[in-house]
């Protein structure tokens, strides 16, 4: 697994397209938070808080993480190197896990430039240090588990699809349904008491708890379950291609 992880990381680090994706995440979030006239603009809101970013980031990551994950397994199948991997002394689960961890790590790189936002807001506040670090750290933790969940679904999509474009579209679609589609359907109150259960299936309900600084083991376990199920399905579909 370690050898797969190292190989994938070097592949990512040497790919300028990946750095463009990370830079695009930072650029788009910066424009919305500091320059564009919109509801996310921190200067317009007038509070020393990164809550606008934590509302915006899941939407950007929803599209970015499948882009990082789409090549992991779909490209191997497209280029014919997947069969070569099968011939190596490594288990399918190790292949999936190594590629998954590499996507997670690259996803976490997206968050590194955002610490500049934290420093900027803390410095520009009327009273320096007025930012709520407890809520901010909880929100960052929520983004980390969300990145890991998006990555797992991206890996599953890449294992299922026959090419990278299909893997990307499939990954975005599943992430969109889980983050926004299911909670939005629950908001229509069509199923009575079952709406609460439906709402709990979606990402937004569990991620929202982190944004108020609340780290609940039930929310953490939910995301871990999503990750586990996604990787199990990814492992299943890769085994079918042997």
What are the tokens at 25? Answer: 């995440």
Which domain, by its residues, includes 230?
2-240
Q: What is the pLDDT along the chain (242 residues), one digit of tens a residue?
A: 788 888 888 888 888 888 898 899 999 998 988 888 777 787 777 666 788 889 999 999 999 999 999 988 887 777 777 777 777 788 888 889 999 999 999 999 999 988 888 888 877 665 565 677 788 889 999 999 999 999 999 999 999 888 889 999 999 999 999 998 887 877 776 666 666 777 778 898 889 889 888 888 999 999 999 999 999 999 999 888 76
Q: Whole-prediction pTM value?
A: 0.90
Q: Residue 73 has which token pair?
A: 């397994």
The answer to whether 166 touches 241, Cβ cutoff 8 Å, is no
Domain count, the chain: 1
Q: What share of the chain is helix, strand, coil (3-state, %, to 5)?
A: 80, 0, 20
Give the ranges where 31-132 is alpha helix by DSSP (H). 42-45, 51-79, 81-86, 92-109, 115-124
Distances (CA, A) of 113 to 22, 23, 27, 64, 119: 9, 9, 10, 15, 11
What does the DSSP 8-state code read for residue 179? I
């Amino acid at each position: 697994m370690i050898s797969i992880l190292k190989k994938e990381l070097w592949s990512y680090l040497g790919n300028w397209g990946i750095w463009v994706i990370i830079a695009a995440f930072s650029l788009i979030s910066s424009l919305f938070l500091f320059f564009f006239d919109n509801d996310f603009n921190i200067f317009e809101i007038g509070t020393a808080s990164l809550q606008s970013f934590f509302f915006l980031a899941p939407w950007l990551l929803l599209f970015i993480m499948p882009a990082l994950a789409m090549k992991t397994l779909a490209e191997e199948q497209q280029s014919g190197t997947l069969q070569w991997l099968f011939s190596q002394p490594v288990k399918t689960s190790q292949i999936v896990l190594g590629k998954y961890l590499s996507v997670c790590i690259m996803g976490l790189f997206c968050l590194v430039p955002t610490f500049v936002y934290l420093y900027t807001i803390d410095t520009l506040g009327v009273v320096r240090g007025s930012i709520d670090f407890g809520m901010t750290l909880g929100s960052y933790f929520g983004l980390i588990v969300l990145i890991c969940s998006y990555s797992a679904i991206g890996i599953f999509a890449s294992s299922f699809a026959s090419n990278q474009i299909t893997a990307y579209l499939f990954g975005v679609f599943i992430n969109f349904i889980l983050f926004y589609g299911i909670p939005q359907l629950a908001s229509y109150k069509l199923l009575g008491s079952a709406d609460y259960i439906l709402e709990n299936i979606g990402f937004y309900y569990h991620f929202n708890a982190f944004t108020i600084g609340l780290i609940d083991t039930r929310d953490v376990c939910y995301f871990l379950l999503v990750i586990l199920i996604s990787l199990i399905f990814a492992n299943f579909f890769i085994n079918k291609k042997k």
